[in-house]
Structure 1
Amino acid sequence: MPDSANNEDVGLRERKRRRTRASLVAAARRRTLEHGLAGFTVEQLCDEIGISRRTFFNYFPSKEDAVLGSSDEVLPQQILDGFVASGRTVPPKPLLDALTDLLAEFGARMAISREEYRLMSAVLHREPQLIAKLFARAESKAQLLVDLIAVREGLPAEHPVPRVATFVLGGLARRSLDEFFAEGNELSYPDVIRRNIDALRYLFPSSPALQNQNQDTT
């Protein structure tokens, strides 16, 4: 019974923490749209939510980070490990197939509504300087994918394949987000990203000769 009670307390604290974080993000975005990023202070945001300034900085390092929201969306380590391991099977899963599955899995775990996506787009339109910070976040995730591809394929860190694959697939993933949240779309994000990657396959059909040439250069 004590363990059960402790687990329940932890669950309640985590739910409260998530609610507070979500409230901060929603209020920061609303104020940004109404007054601009420079039109309100952290103190005003804290007063609205009913928390202290110290508590605010337990959630976000800056007002800009509160507007952008959480950047904690990461896949479980076992899924990342499975991506790497899929290159060790016999025969190995093709890299593009493995990347498709990885991006589809990430998209399926997104916890953002269409309204939240539109709101964020409106915020970025009003305060375009936030885009640079958003790109910086994306860059760290892109580097993780570059590293995973290099390990999976047994390629040296400076090899162009991991970087090019991340650049191309990252662009498709972002475009797929726009399509997924578009008015009238009824497809899931995994369906959208798979459809777009199928279009990529059509444009650049796999060439065994080219694959062998790439392996010879490693």
Structure 2
Amino acid sequence: MINSAITEDGGLRERKRLLTRAAICTTARQLTTDKGLSGFTVEELCEQVGVSRRTFFNYFPSKEDAVLGQSDDHRPDDLIEDFLASAGTLPLLEALVEFAAAAGGRLAITREEFAQLHAVIQREPQLLVKLFGDSAVKQKEFAALIARRENLAADDPRAIMAAQLIGHLAWQSTHAFFLGEDGPTFRHLLESHVDAAQYLFTSGAPRPSPEGTP
């Protein structure tokens, strides 16, 4: 039998961890909005949040990562296992939508926080370089995961294109969800974007011949 005190204590620790992480991100974004990214130090950020420098670096490797809310402590290992296990039972596109929808449903960010992050990037556009640089690494890793599921070479263009396409559709859905009014769920928006993309390939329109060919 599971000791309920241990379970409750573990749950409290996790909630405290998430609250600390959120406080660091929110404060980092507010300081960036007020002073610019170079206008404050990690020590000043820690002082405002009420954590030590060591605690900060337990959550984020840099000030920029804190502003973007990026870290490696939210790898969805269970979703990855489900994605790989679905090979042979679900078509790839359906499995990708399920993976992205489940991952999107776990986004620990509110509409207000997303709007704040959007405003920060408007002020400090160089953060986009880091954001998309990190995204490129994750996209490459995701392509390798798709290739593994489909028994393809890691650099197979089909796996790369699948990762790029679902990544773009997920981003568009995330943007629409957080910047829009309350309404459609993230899953609904994602499925709508996937349906729109499918139309491009299933509309039956003939592909134009390259210039100079019959």
TM over 0.5: yes
RMSD of aligned C-alpha atoms?
2.3
Where in structure 2 are the equivalents of 1:96-135 lying within 5 Å?
96-135=93-132
Distance 1:151 1:54, change over 3 A: closer
User: Equivalent residue for 1:216?
Assistant: none
Whether 2:153 is the aligned partner of 1:176: answer no
Q: TM-score of the superposition, structure 1-length normalised?
A: 0.84
Letter in 2 for 1:162: A
Q: TM-score of the superposition, structure 2-length normalised?
A: 0.85
Structure 2: any 5+ residue segments left out of the alignment? 205-214
User: Equivalent residue for 1:62?
Assistant: 62
Contact 2:21–2:59 (8 Å) recurs in 1: yes
Structure 1: any 5+ residue segments left out of the alignment? 208-218
User: Equivalent residue for 1:210?
Assistant: none
User: Equivalent residue for 2:41?
Assistant: 41
Q: How many residues align?
A: 203
Partner secondary structure for residue 181 of structure 1: helix
User: Equivalent residue for 1:144?
Assistant: 141
User: Equivalent residue for 1:19?
Assistant: 19
Contact 2:24–2:45 (8 Å) recurs in 1: yes
Shift in Å, 1:2: 11
C-alpha offsets along residues 104-141 of structure 1, whole Å, 9 cap, x if unaligned? 11112212111111110111111111112212332232
Partners of 2:177 and 2:66 in 1: CA distance: 24
Shift in Å, 1:151: 1.4
Letter in 2 for 1:85: A
Distance 1:160 1:206, change over 3 A: farther
Contact 1:104–1:189 (8 Å) recurs in 2: yes
